[in-house]
Amino acid sequence: MYEVEVKMHLRNRKGVIKKLKDLGCTFGEVLHQIDYIFIPEDMSFPPPLDVPVLRVRKQNDIWFFTMKISMSNRQDCIEREMKIEDGEKMLEILKFLKYKLVPVVDKKRIKTKVGEIEVVLDEVKGLGEFLEAEKIVHTHDGEERKKIQEELLSFLGTIGVSREDQIINGKYDIMLFEKYGI
């Protein structure tokens, strides 16, 4: 399973929400997500694409553990995620396993779906507002996944999000690192 996404600066939140609602979309509750992201202790940040990145996420009061391995770019990942009972203990375990914590991402997120496309609107502390469109796919073909990214960009154009607002290879932790350092 691969998570294929595109990330955009969100310049007109109200306009995008209106267009999505006009398409029949409804939004879920506001999620407060705090992402603790880990890479191997001996690795520089950001790590190369093929290095597993581990994340412990606190979403409201629920904890998740995720492994992501970036493939052709940072928005094309193998992803495995599971709910966990004790996030604090998982944070300790990762430190014992010699993984180091990189910038923590604190965001508020709302989600909706348009067919197979999940659309999320994020307010990221210290960075601003963003939009992600993603699909979960099973194809191992990297070229097919790049085509899916193009489809996502085309869809976003229909709801008023310009290609010029795309963040190439951006992840919030990397953006925070570039802005503030670790």
Domain harbouring 176, CATH code: 2.40.320.10
The domain containing residue 132 runs over which residues?
2-180
Burial tier of 119 (Cβ tally within 10 Å: 0-12, 13-18, 19+): buried
CB 92 within 8 A of CB 67: no
Q: Which pLDDT tens digit goes with each residue over 17-28?
A: 999 999 999 999
CA 79, 84, 88, 93 torsion-angle sign: negative
- Quote the pLDDT of residue 139: 86
What the block records as the tokens of 139 is: 């194809």
d(CA 102, CA 119): 26
12 burial via Cβ count (<10 Å: 0-12, 13-18, 19+): middle
Q: pLDDT tens digit string along 62-93?
A: 999 999 999 888 878 899 999 999 999 999 99
Please state the domain count of the chain: 1
Q: Looking at residue 169, what is its pLDDT?
A: 73
Using a pLDDT cut of 90, give the percent of the chain over it: 78
Given a contact cutoff of 8 angstroms between Cβ atoms, the answer to whether 99 and 23 are in contact is no
pTM of the model: 0.89
